[in-house]
Amino acid sequence: MKELICIVCPKGCHLKVDEENEYAVTGNACGRGMSYGVKELTNPTRVITSTVLIEGSSIPRAPVKTDRDIPQKYIFGAVRLLDNVTLQAPVQLGQVVVADILGTGANFVVTRSLPKME
């Protein structure tokens, strides 16, 4: 039996997932906790947040994140894709920085519009 803390909502339910009983989940206050418990043990995924260099802006780095969760096994490879990215201001919220990360269908997108510095 694995014990997890659900991260789907702020409640933070203490889940118990029984791997030997078809991933039966207890301790969840809602159905989302049940789905999270099963997914976390069978195919864990994460949304990645980071920053990339930006030129011509009032700040030196632009915040980015994946537009959906990706399998946890791809996290380090995905972050390495950002190592050589340098954006040019202006950038817009939602602008794709890296498309189709490692074949997952997820993209890194800008999470804050940044105007060009005058």
Report pLDDT for 58: 94
Average pLDDT over residues 40-46: 95
The answer on pLDDT for 57 being more than 90 is yes
Q: Which amino acid is at 111?
A: T
- Residue 35: pLDDT band (50, 70, 90) is very high
Report pLDDT for 60: 97
CA distance 118 to 53: 18
Average pLDDT over residues 49-70: 97
Strands lying side by side in the sheet with 86-88: 86-88, 49-55, 61-66, 108-110, 96-98
- Residue 14: pLDDT band (50, 70, 90) is very high
Structure-block tokens of residue 101: 């990360």
CA distance 40 to 16: 12
Report pLDDT for 48: 98
The answer on pLDDT for 118 being more than 90 is no
Architecture of the 49-110 domain: Roll (3.10)
Sequence spans of domains, the chain: 2-42, 49-110
